[in-house]
Structure 1
Amino acid sequence: MEEQQSPFQAAVKPGLTIGLVSLAITFIAYFINSSLLASGWFGLVALAIFFVLIIYFGKQYRTELGGFMSFGTAFNFSFITMVISGLISTLGSILLFQVIDPSLPQVLADESFNTTIEMMEKFGASADSLPPEQLEEIKKSTMDGFTIGGQLKGFGISLIVYAIIALILGAILKKRDKSLDY
């Protein structure tokens, strides 16, 4: 009889796969038009692909377990998968922003800043009404997100988001054996 994998063991291959898919999508967007990386819809599409792949691999793992999986196992599988894929994605982004194209962070920061200003204007605030110091602070904080430290900090914050998403995915992927009910 084949021994069942723990959630950690089962999550390694999907985590690597999703991380590499995420990296491939990022690099494809970069080669098509680097400003895509700063667009909101790009992030939403990437998140949707992320969800679909985790659910797909989670259902495969549940089948491997005999068709049933507890919430805790589903949560652990989802969370570990996201941590591994997020680590790969973060390392790939650091490589892209610091080695491949060191000028890209400035381009994306400018694009993000302009998007922020446009969003403020849609809500009735004018960029002219803000003090120049505050505008500079917004620019600086946007640029800081693309530094190595900023990306590592972003990964740390992502761990909290991954835990919340894993709770949702755990609820989706769990399936209890009703034949055990009395």
Structure 2
Amino acid sequence: MINEIIKRNGITFGVLIGIVSALITATIYAIDLNLFASWWIGMSSILIYLILGIILLSKTKKEIKTIFTFKDAFTTYFIAAVVGILISVLFNVLLFNVIDPSAKETLHEITMKITSNMMQKFGAPASAINEALAKMRETNPYSTIELLKGSVFSIIFSSIFGLILAAFFKTRSSQNN
């Protein structure tokens, strides 16, 4: 059975992460769709989620007041990550497939243009660029199915962060083994 503090903090921070993610997406959407392809926005978002994860685990470790095991730390982070990702994906599905489906088409074109430019900068032959763009035309990363598939990768990526943070935040043994 999961400790109530772990469950409560995981869900609370998960909702917070989901809301922050939705606000970031809504802000970018309102300002300029080109920002979705900006590397610094992606890095800033990762940094925000990392900071929220550190705050979550620090708070939970203080509230537990006993041994904060690796499993407890990882479980806390994992609950928050899954709840946050689900809220974020739900918001993205609503925004790009219900509220403004034309935005997903615009984003798809932006992504293809950036991919083409990047491949040209790296000296890729025209045939390789054309092949890559043809494959990209077959799917749209903002469709409901692709967003749901992406959530699986987000959970895996978040789990890796969670493992690292859990190792850092677990209570250290006072005995040398």
Q: Same fold (TM over 0.5)?
A: yes
Q: What secondary structure sits across from 1:37 in the alignment?
A: helix
Q: Is the 8 A contact 2:78 2:158 kept in 1?
A: yes
* Residue in 2 that maps onto 1:51: 50
Q: Give the Å deviation of 1:50.
A: 0.4
User: Is 2:148 the partner of 1:152?
Assistant: yes
CA distance in 2, matches of 1:131, 1:64: 54
User: Aligned with 1:130: secondary structure?
Assistant: helix
State the SS of the aligned residue for 1:76: helix
Per-residue deviation, 1:129: 2.8
Q: Identity rate of aligned residues, in percent?
A: 34
Asked if 2 retains the 8 angstrom alpha-carbon contact of 1:96 and 1:102, the reply is yes
CA 1:66–1:31 in structure 2 vs 1: closer, same or farther (change >3 Å)?
same
- What whole-Å deviation, never above 9, does each CA across 1:52-105 have from its counterpart, x for those lacking one? 011111101110011751111111111111000000000000011012211011
Range with greater deviation from structure 2 (32-41 or 70-79): 32-41
Asked if the contact 1:35/1:107 (under 8 Å) is kept, the reply is no
Name 2:74's counterpart in structure 1.
75
Is 2:93–2:147's contact at 8 Å kept on the other side of the alignment? Answer: yes
Match of 2:134 in 1: 136
| 1:118 counterpart = 2:107 | no
Give the SS at the match of 2:76.
helix
Pair 1:40-2:36 in alignment = no
Partner of 1:23: 22
Aligned length: 174
**SS in structure 1 at match of 2:68:** coil
Secondary structure of 1:103 counterpart: helix
Superposed CA deviations along residues 83-134 of structure 1, whole A, max 9, x for unmatched, are: 00000000000011012211011111111111111221222114x2337455
Runs of 5+ consecutive residues of structure 1 not aligned to the other structure: none
TM-score normalised to structure 2 length: 0.89
Amino acid in structure 1 at the alignment position of 2:116: I
Q: Could you say which residue in structure 1 is the equivalent of 2:163?
A: 167
Contact 2:56 2:77 survives alignment (8 Å): no
Query: What residue is the counterpart of 1:88 in the other structure?
Result: 87
- TM-score normalized by the length of structure 1: 0.87
CA contact (8 A) 1:11 1:80 kept: yes
Runs of at least 4 residues off by over 2 Å: 4-10, 128-135, 138-141, 175-178
